Amino acid sequence: MNANHVGIVWNPSKTEKADLEAALPTQTGVDITWHETEEDDPGKSATQAALDAGAEVIIAAGGDGTVRAIAGHLAEIGSSAELGIVPLGTGNLLARNLDVPLNSLGEAMDRAFNGTAREIDMGWVEVTLPQGMNREPFVVMAGFGIDAHMITETNDDLKDKAGWLAYVESLGRAVSASDVMEINLSRGGEPIGHESAHTLIVGNCGTLQGGITLLPDADPTDGELDVLILKAEGVAGWLDTMKNMVWDNGLRKMMAKDESAQSSESAVHQRISSLTIELEQPRIVEVDGDEVGETNRIDVTIKPAALRVR
């Protein structure tokens, strides 16, 4: 789509407007409007303001929370506007999975202005909280356990100084906080499984910071979500988990070009289009790095081809 109007939705806590302006391609030939996010509204209202102004492309200049808010609003209203990403956060997970340039504002901005869009899927989670039902979008991953605790246990000051390496520092505390519990899985009201596990991750994309691949089959264009259930206990269990991630679904998968992820005693891989997760005890749930509350029931669905991303 050759756009006549680009709306740049930017998070002022991540960068200065002048830096973004300096990174703009020369002679864009389009109208550009600027829309700031707010602390209590990471992108929804700003995105709608850009659309109301006539934007046909929305550029998300910010971190994962900004990208998620903008993408979620575009998908929820069924907008035909395309999404460009200028990654400015710690994780930049969707940008990583879509090979958006991470270390150059100019290159990322050029991709956002001139790149070719493709359709990607959008995941949704509904969590039952004390104050009622909360429905949240995600473009990368949602879940509970080590994944969620690594987010909530990570020191913000360290994250600002060390970037994604700060998550490693939090892993030990995350493991100790993630007790094994009983989990019931169902679809459409029909039971489909029971697991004893400490972590469950549902992903639209599979790669984290540092090239760590949690979900080797995840493809944001295939109309399905991938599930990883971790059940490791003790040294033997964690060694099995590492073997499953590094060898079974890493090196061996690359060499053999296997079509599907391999499960083990401590790591179970599944593919789903919808899933209801009921927990023995409430757990903190995170979506694309944002904590959304503590719950004992999570309903996950996918909206295929919900978003066009450059």
Confidence of residue 181 (pLDDT cuts 50, 70, 90): confident
Strands in the chain per DSSP E: 5-10, 31-36, 57-62, 82-87, 118-129, 132-138, 141-144, 181-187, 190-197, 199-203, 225-230, 267-272, 274-287, 290-309
Q: Where in the chain is the domain with CATH 2.60.200.40?
A: 122-305
**What single string gives the DSSP state of each residue in 91-159?**
--HHHHHTT--SS-HHHHHHHHHHPPPEEEEEEEEEEEETTEEEEEEESSEEEESHHHHHHHTS-HHHH
* Per-residue pLDDT reduced to its tens digit, 32-87: 999 999 999 999 999 999 999 999 999 999 999 999 999 999 999 999 999 999 99
Residue 4 has pLDDT above 70, yes or no: yes
Question: Chain-wide mean pLDDT for the chain?
Answer: 84
Looking at per-residue pLDDT, the higher value among 168 and 143 belongs to 143
* Per-residue pLDDT reduced to its tens digit, 91-109: 899 999 999 999 999 999 9
Q: Where in the chain is the domain with CATH 3.40.50.10330?
A: 5-116
Answer yes or no: are the C-beta atoms of 42 and 83 closer than 8 Å.
no
What is the per-residue pLDDT for 149? 46
Nearest to 178 by CA among 279, 301, 297, 290: 279
Provide the CATH topology of domain 5-116: Rossmann fold (3.40.50)
Residue 150 has pLDDT above 70, yes or no: no
What is the per-residue pLDDT for 244? 57
What is the per-residue pLDDT for 238? 56
What is the per-residue pLDDT for 5? 97
For the 122-305 domain, the top CATH level (class) is mainly beta
* Per-residue pLDDT reduced to its tens digit, 260-271: 776 665 678 899
